[in-house]
A and B are shown apart, each in its own frame.
Chain A
Amino acid sequence: MMRRCFQLFLMVCLFLPNLPAQRGGELRFCLRAEPKTFNPVIVTDEPSEIIRYLTGGVLLRVNRQTQQVEPELAVSWKILQQGRKINFKLREGLSFSDGTPFSAEDVAYTIRTLMDPALHSPTADSFRSSAGPVKTTVSGTYRVAITFPAPVAGLERLFDQVAILSSRSPRREMAVLGPFFTAEYKPGAYVLLKRNAYYWKRDENGESLPYLDSIRLEIQQNREIEFLRLERGQIHLIDRLDPEFFDRLAAESPSSVHDAGPSLNSEQMWFNQVPTSPIPAYKKVWFESRNFRRAISESIHREDICRVVYHQHASPAVGPVSPANRFWFNAALKPHPFDPRGALRRLEEEGFRLQGGVLRDRGGHPVEFSLITNSGNKPRELMAAMIQQDLGQLGIRLNVVTLDFSSLIERISQTFDYEACLLGLVNVDLDPNSQMNVWLSSASNHQWNPNQKSPATNWEAEMDRLMRAQASVIDAGKRKAYFDQVQQIVWEEAPFIYLVNTNSLSAASPSLRNVSPIVMLPQTSWNAERLCFASQTARSQP
């Protein structure tokens, strides 16, 4: 019955595409967890990030579609002193959501608040290229300059995450310059955002934005329930849809699903190379061998994984940067080929021998290791089973172990009591600076061998040098050249064996207009100010 209702609803919606859009209505979609904060300067989690995006006004915005920096509250900007200073000319006559006027004082106040060491703002960490104070100089009501102690690479893009606070409003961080403001929060139930009547943007016809009256962000962790609610018309959007749900919905209503192509996220496996880990010494020798890692990589059939596990909604991964990251992706690299014979040759070079269907090392040890992944993640469990069969062809016995997430994290970050791990990486930032905590050998997320006092290998030392070099120059072309070399080293050494880049899948109610999903977060609501309902359906909103 419910399915029929949904199909009827979709049919009605399909016959409405040419009806004019209408102002008003309430957009509903789900947050997958409780937002940890509403203070935009200390955001660390995804739900809070979505709220910041929908409510915060920023000086410069990275256009989620073009991935280019565009002016927002600043009409123009200029980077001076080789990236140490940035001057902004601000938009005039704007007001916060509570009516207090916007000026350069607000920008200065925001930067002071953000850079307060006591606040431990993760956003501020991106600006801290060196020790020393950040100076803000207000040179007029709408002119402000910010000076950093050392050059900051990719400086202008960092302002995409700095929501401007009001220095005068009694509501402080609740007074916003974005299209919506937070009107109500019911823990465990929903966050209600209402239209900011003072929002400055207008559409091509001179009509004020946003079109919607409100956005209700319902807190729902269960993906199945979220999907059911979309089918019943109780919510209008789903981001990061599972391939299985995507295909199911595509069969019922092709116009409601969107595959935006490869996302920024990847799935990868790696071997434990921590010298102090409690694994046998002979296995450490395998895992430290580049030929061994490359052989494993080349014996995995990535195309099959994309087809069988992701129903073609994924593509073989090349390295740490997805092709979706248009500027930073090293297009000269291709995914490691599926080549079991070549893999066996590499292994033989390292002294491995295939005897009676079992691969043995120089010491005669049969090649057997365990691969841990988090339980409950079906695609990863399926991938692990496929890798198990692929490696079995080379005479390698792989034991797949699924663990609850906290046990897994404890093993990979504290006890290091594991041999190989299969996990995913969610990238939210395009700039390689956000990956410093992965590629520097001293970093805690340098997962195969974290927190090194000095680089364990020459290639890790080279990666350290290149990552620091790209972070210290301002010229984007030079930075790209350095980071291309990092990607090349990762491709050659395979400390992470990249498997697939999952596609960015989403669903939107056909009653919604101007939907244009993208690969970055928030996928479908990135242009929330321009989303609207077809006229009839807008009236029927509860």
Chain B
Amino acid sequence: MRKQRQFALGILVVIFSVSLMARVFAPAPYARQFRQSPNAPPSRQFLLGTDELGRDRLSRILVGSQVSLLLAPAAALLSTLLAALVGGVAGTLGGWWERLAMGAADLFLSLPWLFLLLTVRAMLPLNVSPLLSVVITFALLGSLGWAAAARVVCAGARGLRTSDFILQARACGCRSLRLLTKHVLPSLKPALYAQFWISIPVFILAEANLGVLGLGVAEPLPSWGNLLRELENYRSLLADPWLLAPLVLMVLVVSCFQIIIPLEDFPS
């Protein structure tokens, strides 16, 4: 199991490294349209062929990976921090605090995410650069995706509330804030790690869903989301299997993330 994790970690490191240096490895500018060669098959010039507008697919995958792999962990970190804060406070204090926080979490869980994202996206200013639009998209995902993790953290904190070491700390006059930061959250670290790792592929997929609807990252910047839109035409997949490249990469990355999470970190 350890070897598998190391292998998965190795793959992730390679993919992350390559994507960080995407502009070095990319054979052509990701936005350049070779209009004489739309939907071209792989060739010496275009190793993974071109998309509908004649843009080099390999270059777009490299840059798209950079976008998705940098911003999805950032969104996951944001949502995990929010979950730790809300869930930790609720679980530690209990009573009305817990009811209020869990009510808010329930409300967030019951919201139709897609419509909410559509509405928020529609309210954003129009003249934003593609890079800013992708940052906004992931920030939205991160700030809306804390609720499920907060319930897990809250349950963990609630379980700790009556544990001996917490009671002892209380008996020694430890205040709630110190109790939360010094005793409760460190004890919940495995659960928080697990939530963080689980959130990364979730956000990658959420952005992909928005991308498939045409509401993700703005043109011409690629992301895994808008690259996956090529798969809408499922019939051409058999004839043009290279269209699957972004999907294969995404499945590989998501699988690696799942493998590297230690099983003992999952809350029972």
B38 touches A308 (CB 8 A): yes
Q: How many residues of A contact B (CB 8 A)?
A: 32
Contact with A along B202-242 (1 / 0, CB 8 A): 00000000000111001110000000000001010000000
Q: Which residues of B contact A422 (CB under 8 A)?
A: none
A399 touches B215 (CB 8 A): no
Please pick, from A301, A369, A382, A400, the residue contacting B52 in the complex, using a CB distance under 8 A: A382
- Chain B interface: which size bin? 20 to 34
At the interface with chain B, which of A232-240, A384-392, A471-479, A488-496?
A384-392
Q: How far is the CB of B146 from chain A (nearest CB, A)?
A: 25
Q: Compute how far the CA of A417 lies from the CA of B124 in the bound complex, rounded to whole angstroms.
A: 11
B213 touches A376 (CB 8 A): yes
B94 interface residue per 8 A CB criterion:
no
Q: How far is the CB of B55 from chain A (nearest CB, A)?
A: 9
Q: Compute how far the CA of A526 lies from the CA of B221 in the bound complex, rounded to whole angstroms.
A: 44
A399 touches B129 (CB 8 A): yes
A137 interface residue per 8 A CB criterion:
no
Q: How far is the CB of B223 from chain A (nearest CB, A)?
A: 14
Q: Compute how far the CA of A418 lies from the CA of B52 in the bound complex, rounded to whole angstroms.
A: 28
Q: Which residues of B contact A372 (CB under 8 A)?
A: 126
Q: Which residues of B contact A116 (CB under 8 A)?
A: none
At the interface with chain B, which of A38-46, A85-93, A103-111, A401-409?
A401-409
With A401-B126, A403-B122: A388-B219 Cβ-Cβ less than 8 Å: yes
Chain B interface, >50% SS class = loop
Question: Which among B54, B218, B219, B220 has the highest number of chain A CB atoms within 10 Å?
Answer: B219
Closest to B31 in A: A389
A362 interface residue per 8 A CB criterion:
no
Q: Which residues of B contact A399 (CB under 8 A)?
A: 126-130, 218
B220 touches A370 (CB 8 A): no
Q: Compute how far the CA of A280 lies from the CA of B32 in the bound complex, rounded to whole angstroms.
A: 30
B166 interface residue per 8 A CB criterion:
no
Closest to A392 in B: B31
Q: Which residues of B contact A376 (CB under 8 A)?
A: 213-214
Q: Compute how far the CA of A307 lies from the CA of B53 in the bound complex, rounded to whole angstroms.
A: 10
B258 interface residue per 8 A CB criterion:
no
B31 touches A401 (CB 8 A): no
A368 interface residue per 8 A CB criterion:
yes
A419 interface residue per 8 A CB criterion:
yes
B233 touches A404 (CB 8 A): no
A203 interface residue per 8 A CB criterion:
no
B35 interface residue per 8 A CB criterion:
yes
Contact with B along A302-315 (1 / 0, CB 8 A): 00100111000000
B214 touches A375 (CB 8 A): yes
A381 interface residue per 8 A CB criterion:
yes
Please pick, from B52, B118, B127, B129, the residue contacting A404 in the complex, using a CB distance under 8 A: B118
B233 touches A244 (CB 8 A): yes
Interface CB pairs A-B, < 8 A, 22 = A308-B38, A308-B52, A369-B127, A370-B127, A381-B219, A385-B33, A385-B220, A386-B33, A386-B53, A388-B220, A399-B126, A399-B127, A399-B128, A399-B129, A400-B218, A400-B219, A404-B118, A404-B122, A407-B122, A417-B126, A418-B126, A419-B126
The 3 closest A-B pairs by CB, nearest first: A407-B122, A375-B214, A370-B126
Given contacts A407-B119, A419-B126, 17 further A-B contacts (CB under 8 A): A304-B35, A369-B127, A370-B127, A378-B214, A381-B214, A381-B219, A384-B219, A385-B33, A385-B53, A386-B35, A388-B219, A388-B220, A399-B128, A401-B218, A403-B122, A407-B118, A417-B126
